[in-house]
Amino acid sequence: MARHEFPQNGTVAEDLIQQLKDNKSNDLDWEHGRSFSYIYKPSAAIYECLQEAQRIYFAENALNPAAFPSLRKLEGEVVDMCISLLGGGASAVGSMTSGGTESIMMALKSAKEWSKIHKPTIKQPEVLFSNSAHPAFNKACDYFSLKPVIVPCGKDFRADPKLVESAMNENTILIVGSAPSYPQGVVDPIEALGQLAKKRNILLHVDACVGGFVLPFLEQAPKFNLSVPGVTSISADIHKYGFASKGSSVVLYNDPELRKAQFYVYTGWPGGMYGSPTIAGTRPAGAIAVAWTTLKLLGRKGYDNEVSISMRVAKQLQDIITAIPDLEVVGSPDICIFSFRSTSFDIYELGDEMYLKGWLMDRQQDPACLHISVSPNHENYIEEFKKDLLECIAKVKRVSLATLNKNIQIGASKILRKILPSQTYQKVQNLALKKGGVEGKRSAALYGMIGDLKGTGDLEALIKGYLDTLMRKPEE
């Protein structure tokens, strides 16, 4: 397949804009409530204002605050507002980052540097978290040569303080609590984890990336923020339920020394002294401007309203799901995200059928379930969702060619893995990717294969192949 060549001549601006619009024609219709993932949409009036804020700061670069003092002011005010919202005291500080993953990575980088000073005898620092914690913690451990120690959740899908304590040792430098964890939307017992952190004189990071702009506006929310004794840092995404544009999160610390520990400085470069507060060098100013505008535009009363709508809609959707004998909500969600599973059929097949009708729900495992993140704009599409859900369930429960094909693929995968050389089996995996989860509309067979491959090196190869396929142009 020929590469897309660099153009010899320019193209008329109007034509390019039309091409961009045309390119989106096959994308998910998130504006009409079809996505329960990736997009967190506020009301239309708010959206228009944020687009204008992005335009005003389109060209500026937040790499050097001295060059653009207005950005330093905006970012400082964003951090201050988030500290106020998330229970920080007079000494609390923080930084803006590009998202939850970078915020988590900064917290772990900070913990590693902290341990060099406060626990210098540790040769291999360990970070302890439950298996429901976001994979960004595993990623950060991999990047910063920290050892991840993963413990199972309790039956309620929350971190179990007893299991956490039993896994702690002299090398533990930080434990993690989620507020909430993404898979089931439940908040870990942060107060109990804080007591463990204080008892062992170690750090506790709270991942509130998805709940940081929901929990503060609930009447009866579990305690989770910087005010909880033992909590040393917290992360929260403004681009999720804060409703800002993508690329804005905060990581906050109770101790200013911890923020200093996340900085990177190099003084030997001929180009000058180099220092950056986070992973990124150049940082888009538009994300800072939009985050500031969003917080100012909505305020506490505005977020009260948006969260109230999301929670009400989530409850309505949960009632629809639990009224269906074959479905049940997993756990007891604390905010407006949740998952549901089937007691009688393959839930991934239901996900496929709903996707064919234009609805996107994340597929999850352990247990197999579908995930829903509710935003205010889903309010107008509840009945449409219910209608399609019932139709899709009826279709899944009938024996179909798609179901038969999926079962054949999974069965063939089990046999082929036993009899084929690894390189040949890799080719079979790549073919499954090409025909299944990336270019196709159905992924139930792919998830069935993943279940069969758990605990083997073949699964990692399959996922890497999937990512490699995603990074290619569709026609490759």
Q: CB burial class (10 A; 0-12, 13-18, 19+) of residue 45?
A: exposed
For tokens 């619009």, what's the residue?
21
pLDDT by position in tens, the chain (length 476) = 678 889 999 999 999 999 999 998 888 888 888 889 888 877 777 888 899 999 999 998 888 878 899 999 999 999 999 999 999 999 999 999 999 999 999 999 999 999 999 999 999 999 999 999 999 999 999 999 999 999 999 999 999 999 999 999 999 999 999 999 999 999 999 999 999 999 999 999 999 999 999 999 999 999 999 999 999 999 999 999 999 999 999 999 999 999 999 999 999 999 988 888 999 988 999 999 999 999 999 999 999 999 999 999 999 999 999 999 999 999 999 999 999 999 999 999 999 999 999 999 999 999 999 999 999 999 999 999 999 999 999 999 885 545 545 555 555 555 545 554 555 555 555 555 555 554 456 665 555 555 555 555 555 665 666 567 656 666 54
- Specify the DSSP element, H or E, that contains 363: strand 362-364
Residue matched to tokens 């790499």: 63
Q: Give the DSSP letter of residue 454.
A: T
**Residue 371 Cα to chain centre, angstroms:** 12
pTM score, whole prediction: 0.86
Burial class of residue 280 (count of CB atoms within 10 Å of its CB; 0-12, 13-18, 19+): middle
> Is CATH 3.40.640.10 the right assignment for the domain spanning 55-295?
yes
Integer Cα distance of 110 and 102 in angstroms: 12
- Two tokens, residue 459: 């699964």
- Burial of residue 424 (CB within 10 Å: 0-12, 13-18, 19+) is exposed
Q: What angle do CA 31, 35, 37 make, to 5 degrees?
A: 125
Q: Give the bridge partners for 129, in sequence order.
A: 150
Distance from C-alpha of 377 to C-alpha of 207, rounded to nearest angstrom: 25
- Among 359, 356, 386, which residue's Cα sits nearest to residue 370? 359
Provide the CA 294 distance to its chain's centre, in angstroms: 20
Residue whose pair of structure tokens reads 């709940």 in the numeric block: 211
What are the extents of the domains in the chain? 55-295, 299-397, 401-470
151 φ/ψ angles, rounded to the nearest 5 degrees: -115, 150
CATH of 299-397, one of 3.40.50.620, 3.10.50.40, 3.30.70.1290, 3.90.1150.10: 3.90.1150.10
Contacts of 459 (CB under 8 A, 6+ apart): 450, 453
Q: Smallest Cα–Cα separation from 202: which of 111, 131, 116?
A: 111
Residues ≥6 apart with Cβ < 8 Å to 150: 129, 130, 131, 133
Which value, to the nearest 10 degrees, does the dihedral of the CA atoms of residues 53, 55, 61, 64 take?
Answer: -30
- Report yes or no: 244 and 50 within 8 Å, Cβ to Cβ: yes
Reading the block at residue 252, the tokens are: 């906050």
The CA-atom distances, in angstroms, between 122 and each of 44, 172, 200, 356 are 52, 9, 14, 53
Domains 55-295 and 299-397 share a fold: no
Q: Residue 38 corresponds to which tokens in the numbers above?
A: 């990736």
SS3 320: helix
